[in-house]
Amino acid sequence: MNIVQFCWLLLLPMPWLWIAASAISTEKPNCPKKCGNITIPYPFGIGNPRCSMNKSFLLKCNHSKPSNSSSKLLLGDLQVLNISAEEGTVTVSTYVPYYCYDMDWIGLDYWLYKVDLTGTPFTFSATENRFIAIGCDTVGYIEDSNGTRFGSGCISFCYHPVNLTREDPCSGVGCCQTQIPSGVKTLDMSIDSVYNYSYSSKFSPCNYIFLARKDWFDFSTIDLIRLTNVDRKPPTVLDWAVGEETCESMDLSYASSSIYPCGPNTNCVNSNNGPGYRCVCKPGYQGNPYLFDSQGCKDIDECLDQTMHRCEGTCKNTQGNYTCHCPLGMSGDGKVACQGFRVTTLIAVCGILIFLAFMIIVAWIECKRRKKHRNFQQNGGSFLKNQKIRIFSEKELVKATEKYDNNRLLGQGGSGAVYKGVLANGSLVAIKKPNVADKTKIKHFQREVIKKAFQHEISIVSQVNHKNVVKLLGLCLETEFPSLIYEFISNGSLFDHLHVKRSAMLKSWANRLRIAAEISLALDYLHSLADPPIIHRDVKSMNILLDEKFTAKVSDFGASVLIPFGQSVVDTKIHGTHGYLDPEYLITGLLTVKSDLYSFGVVLIELLTGQKPILKRKNPEENVNFIQYFISSVEQKKISQVLMNCEDVDRRESEQIEVVAELAVRCLNSSSIERPTMKEVAEQLNGLMKLHETFEAQENDEEVESLLGKENDAMFYSISETHYMTAFDIELQ
């Protein structure tokens, strides 16, 4: 007997898989909750009869010592393994009838097994149990106790154990199974053999039958050759019900009475395995449906378990259910799906975009700051910031020129444009900005040339300080190309007054002579007094500006050249304006201060005649070189034919005009050696100007004129002869 039971242990090694306790307490208050490891939910109870619904549900706990964990819970003579109030089931252990080929037929107790549940609310579960027979020559029978209600069974054969595999189902080869009908309360099981156990005795020594929970048995684990028994009993499921009525037979008065076993928030469910009914919690509730207190059916908060209760939006728990609203900006049933974009998502996306935009702006500002700093250093900011010159920011210039508005444009040349600017303190300035607005159309080497030209102009103009030279007020070094800020000269250029406006101011010989003298003083300063000396290299009427008092100021030093110490000639590329360019410099490429003298001679011609150096015609081939025409007129004593008409020119002024005309011719000599120095020219022009001022003072003083009389004429002739002698002496030299 013990050996057979040990064989059964090897036959059925699968673990038991059931719940020992419910997540929510379902016991009746002040009653024992457990027996050993098994939880006892109401309507079941142990000990005191009040702990169960009635005596049919009163169980017995057989305590074992020294530990209560091995205590057995009994339903009659059956050991209880599990109780489920929600499913209405009780799992108990039953017996395994068996017979082996070497056993005597006398031991019928081993192959005949009876269970009787009559008079109890329990019924063998037709859905959860299976009747199983194991062996290679086995006939298993199952019927009710009287044999009048049902009878069934199955036959199991196997002609050789090699025909069996571990994956074979229990389908008749070594194992067979069948279901039982519903409503069965009595059960008889027995074993028989077709071949009197002789056929399979060598490879299947024993046969077995049992009624067990369907998921407990696994035939693939059986080895029929080494088949043994086990002293454990298989789990069998019993269905139970409360009462003997059906839900439909109970009227409302009974359902609301105190003897109605179902608690609040419950539904009545007819038993599907015999008479009676059960209580279940309504959907959305959980607990023991037979209790009326806090342990009964209570609302489930579906919002706490999104895996079981789907919600894509805002979840709100309700009694027995929950609502789900789609997020703001979306539509649909949140329990199924929501369409559209969440406002929170849009806000998040917008937030990300704003953050990215902010980071881009910060990066752009930082990049711009670094670029300004790099430009400042490359433009010589480290040196110039320590000099006596103001450093302007790019922001100041943009504001001063209203973002370089075209209405502020004063003029434009090959390398730069000049804008009128108004500083924060109201001061007017002229801002010379490099002409590189369209960088895509200007080559790299051209940008470098412009940049170097502006840096060169800075180095020159920053050294100049003369009343007849446009003053450099400051610099802007933050841009790729530095900008120069000059004092604002309000009356435009000499070119405009001579050739565009035809200003009445120039009809006065005194004004023209003064302007010529002021220009000569500025150039003499550049050639002689500046350190180092400077050759302007682009002297022309367009670069002579007139302020509000019509004082002449030399401007635009972008092409100027510093004369190296100990040298008088500079070998450089040809640069200048057609008509003003020294022909000797044009041929040899050797630049000297006499090149500026030639250009100044052209400006003198413009002041004397009011004509441009090159008279343009419709046909470029017919253009007239007015310089040669002027020189020829002076040499032929026909200067009056080319002079500008002057108002009230007297004899003395006419003689001065002739002297200046001859001086202009000397400046225009094709040989630089034959030209006078700028110092000599400045002295002669300023001498004539002072002489003219003396004459005007004498003429305005009638009292002096009456006293002196004709002695004035003698003085004039004496002074004039002195100046003429000076001019002749210069020519002889």
3-state secondary structure of 15: coil
- Residue 13 φ/ψ region, left for φ over 0, alpha for ψ in the -120 to 50 degree band, beta for the rest: alpha
Helices (H) and strands (E) in the chain, counts: 15, 39
Q: Which DSSP symbol is given to 144?
A: -
The pairing of strands 129-134 and 277-281 is: unpaired
- Whether 238 and 272 have beta carbons less than 8 Å apart is answered as no
Measured CA to CA, the distance from residue 236 to residue 251 in angstroms comes to 35
Please state the separation of Cα 501 from the chain's center in Å: 59
Q: Omega of the bond prior to 532 within 30 degrees of 0, cis?
A: yes
- Whether 505 and 545 have beta carbons less than 8 Å apart is answered as no
What are 216's two structure tokens? Answer: 């407990």
Q: Which amino acid would we find at residue 478? A: E
- 144, 192, 538, 556: which one is catalytic? 538
What are 38's two structure tokens? Answer: 């098994």
Provide the sign of the torsion angle of the four alpha carbons 589, 592, 598, 603, taken in this order.
Answer: positive
Q: Which amino acid would we find at residue 353? A: L
Task: Count Cβ atoms within 10 A of the Cβ of residue 679 and give its class: 0-12 exposed, 13-18 middle, 19 or more buried.
Answer: middle
Q: Which DSSP symbol is given to 307?
A: T
Measured CA to CA, the distance from residue 558 to residue 415 in angstroms comes to 9
What are 13's two structure tokens? Answer: 């090694």
The Cα-based distances of 268 to 65, 276, 282, 383, 444 in angstroms read: 42, 10, 9, 99, 93
Nearest Cα neighbor of 84 from 278, 316, 371 is 278
3-state secondary structure of 47: coil
Measured CA to CA, the distance from residue 504 to residue 644 in angstroms comes to 12
Q: Which amino acid would we find at residue 595? A: S
223 is catalytic: no
**Backbone phi, psi, residue 170, to 5°:** -80, 85
For 605-640, the three-class secondary structure string (H helix, E strand, C coil) is HHHHHCCCCEECCCCHHHCEEHHHHHHHHHHCCCHH
Q: Which DSSP symbol is given to 281?
A: E
Residue whose entry in the numeric block shows the structure tokens 């711009």: 368
Spatial neighbors of 46 by CB under 8 A, at least 6 apart, are 31, 32, 35, 40, 52, 58, 59, 60, 61, 73
Measured CA to CA, the distance from residue 460 to residue 462 in angstroms comes to 5
The catalytic residue positions are 538
